[in-house]
């Protein structure tokens, strides 16, 4: 199973996938390329260190989302990916791009969806006085952070937590669950049909 990872930032989730692969914990998933829309993304160095091909296309060079997504798709297709893994990829995707990879694109979002789609999730969970918070891995559909959930990880919110402390606690969990889900997909266990996610043929 050929996996391309899309990033915009530091790439700690990418690193977790690289480490899992090196420890034999990613099953038949192969990391065939890392794509970034940000030239300076820290994750690019992680990819290079691991010997994974990289591609950077700066979205600011494109007139609109559609032109950028078309360029990105052409670049990704050269890797012939079976799965796209969004790991801190901070772009909203156009309908044709989402449709092209329907059922073959995963995202990780730092909240217990459907709570807190969008940005600043840690601060929002703190402001709401929530007792717990976490991360969700889901299939990507046309709805922002709205596709069917596959796996969630929960963490407690402690008294006097800052958004940074909470983010770090959530990220440690992210690094555990993303490799597991990528492995399941690569083993053919995870599918999406008509907007629902299935594991081993059972609705999740």
Q: Which residues are annotated as a binding site?
A: 11-13, 65, 90-93, 107
Closest CB 143 distance from ligand GRF, rounded Å: 16
DSSP 147-191: SPEEEEEEEEPPTT--HHHHHHHHHHHHHHHHHHHHHHHHTT-EE
Q: Is 171 in the site for ligand GRF (CB under 6 A)?
A: yes
| 70 or 172: CB nearest ligand GRF | 172
How distant is the alpha carbon of residue 60 from its chain centre?
A: 22
Can you count the helices (H) and strands (E) in the chain?
A: 6, 10
Nearest residue by C-beta to ligand GRF? 88
Residues marked active site are found at 109
Q: Is 155 in the site for ligand GRF (CB under 6 A)?
A: no
Among 85, 87, 137, 182, binds ligand GRF (CB under 6 A): 87
Strands across the sheet with 105-109, in order? 54-56, 30-36, 2-7, 83-86, 105-109, 132-139, 149-156
Site map 42..81 versus ligand GRF, x via CB under 6 A = -x--------------------------------------
Q: Is 110 in the site for ligand GRF (CB under 6 A)?
A: yes
Q: Is 12 in the site for ligand GRF (CB under 6 A)?
A: yes
Q: Which residues define the annotated binding site for (6R)-10-formyltetrahydrofolate?
A: 65, 90-93, 107
Of 169, 85, 101, nearest to 133 by C-alpha is: 169
- Given its phi and psi angles, is residue 167 left (phi above 0), alpha (psi -120 to 50 degrees) or beta? alpha
Q: Is 10 in the site for ligand GRF (CB under 6 A)?
A: yes
Instruction: Provide the binding-site residues for ligand GRF, judged by CB under 6 A.
Output: 7, 9-13, 43, 87-88, 108-110, 135, 171, 174
């Amino acid at each position: 199973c050929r996996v391309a990872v899309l990033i915009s930032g530091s790439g700690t989730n990418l690193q977790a996938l690289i480490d899992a692969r090196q420890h034999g914990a990613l099953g038949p998933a192969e990391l065939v390329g890392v794509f970034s829309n940000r030239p300076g993304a820290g994750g690019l160095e992680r990819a290079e260190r691991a010997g994974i091909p990289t591609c950077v296309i700066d979205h600011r060079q494109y007139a609109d989302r559609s032109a950028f997504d078309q360029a990105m798709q052409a670049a990704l297709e050269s890797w012939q990916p079976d799965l796209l893994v969004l790991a801190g990829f901070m772009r909203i995707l156009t309908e044709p791009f989402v449709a092209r990879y329907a059922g073959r694109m995963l995202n990780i979002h730092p909240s217990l969806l459907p709570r807190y789609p969008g940005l600043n999730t840690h601060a929002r969970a703190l402001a709401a006085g929530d007792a717990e918070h976490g991360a969700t891995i889901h299939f990507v559909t046309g709805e922002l952070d709205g596709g069917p959930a596959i796996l969630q990880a929960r963490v407690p919110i402690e008294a006097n937590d800052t958004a940074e402390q909470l983010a770090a606690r959530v990220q440690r969990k992210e690094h555990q669950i993303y490799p597991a889900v990528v492995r399941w997909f690569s083993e053919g266990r995870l599918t999406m049909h008509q907007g629902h996610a299935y594991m081993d043929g059972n609705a999740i």
